[in-house]
Amino acid sequence: MNEQQAIAVFQLQMRNENAEMRNIKAYLVLENGTIFEGEGFGARGDVTGEVVFTTAMTGYLETLTDPSYCGQIVVQTFPLIGNYGIIPSDFESAKPALRAYIVKHPCQAPSNFRSEGSLDAFLKENGIIGLCGIDTRALTRIIRQSGVMNGKITASKPTERDISEAKAYRIENPVALVSARMMQDKTIPDCTTNTRTLASSVALMDFGAKRGIAEALMERGCGVRTFPHDAKSGEILKMNPDGIVLSNGPGDPSDPSNKGIVKTIRDIMQSGIPVFGICLGHQLMALASGYATKKLEFGHRGANQPVKELSTGRVYITSQNHGYTVISDNSSFINVNDGTCEGIDYENSFSVQFHPEARAGPLDTGFLFDRFIERMHTYASG
């Protein structure tokens, strides 16, 4: 078979796959009764979850594998998804935790030398139901106007029972579902290749940590020991770390299932060791310090969220994925769009609502890892 024949066979295969996908009718029914008719792809079946949208234009692989989406049906506002295929080295966790995935146009013929497959095949392999061909712009407007709500994707014409099931859905103890099961060590890299910092040991509390957090620390000469969400303060402090990072994760920070975590964080902060909270870690750190949290109308999800550092007046573009915010009159960063808290400074610790490691997104705030390491060195030097 020559090159032209191979291309022809490939194009025929893609046309057949696209035709097969278009023949699978599927529906999204929201808890308010709104119904969208589209086509199913990925895994087959019915699924219920909280419907949220992300405005990121790239980084769909990081979105698919971000554990913070546990329990949610994710809508991509950017219409063309899957164009550069599936690249395992870009994953933020071993497998996706989201409930389902909604896009306008999924690409069935990705073009990328790093690609190892199509979006459709990846969703099938991981048991994730996909829905395409609906008006994702109209769906996003409904969520923006009415707030985040539950929904159900079904292969059958929706009924009142489907609406009732959507209304009744609750995300149960999501942090436990995505946290590491046991303590894990990351090797300290060769510091001769990194002249910015000396090697430090960091304890990472995993509430659904993106891989990029540990890698950002390791790139700066840190050894990282990951602890599961239910590790006690005594276990963590026994390691004698130079600093402690509280990771991102899914769900409501004030959920009763997180009470033990909040107590552990409170004990850790009283030890005096520098702590750096990210996303859910920021929220749990605030709860441990006496602040409160509340649910946002439709959350901040995407790679284009502007935040302002109040001490300098400088605005950074950030990557975010959260549905709750801290209620604080002592913010170090605020969201430029709605004025909500995006960070808090403590005595020798700090936290931010956004993702300084990005993955995917702008790298504007990567300097916060350097700031954390400086605080570790200051603390270690007495």
Which residue numbers are catalytic? Answer: 279, 355, 357
Phi, psi (deg, nearest 5) at residue 98: -70, 160
Judge whether 153 and 131 are in contact, CB under 8 Å: yes
Q: Is 37 exposed, middle or buried (0-12, 13-18, 19+ CB in 10 A)?
A: middle
CA distance readout (Å), 372 to 275, 280, 345, 368, 377: 8, 17, 12, 6, 9
- Please state, in angstroms and as integers, the Cα–Cα distance from residue 124 to each residue in 43, 86, 120, 160, 296, following that order: 4, 13, 6, 28, 32
Nearest CA-CA partner of 28 in 135, 186, 122, 177: 135
Q: Please say whether the beta carbons of 227 and 250 come within 8 A.
A: no
Q: How far apart are CA 124 and CA 249, in angstroms?
A: 24
CA nearest 98: which of 321, 293, 254?
A: 321
Structure-block tokens of residue 114: 């790093």
Report the C-alpha gap between 17 and 113 in whole angstroms.
21
Residue pair 349/275 in contact (Cβ under 8 Å)? The answer is yes
Query: What is the four-CA torsion angle of 216, 221, 225, 230, rounded to 10 degrees?
Result: -40
| Measured distance CA(302)–CA(58) in Å, rounded | 9
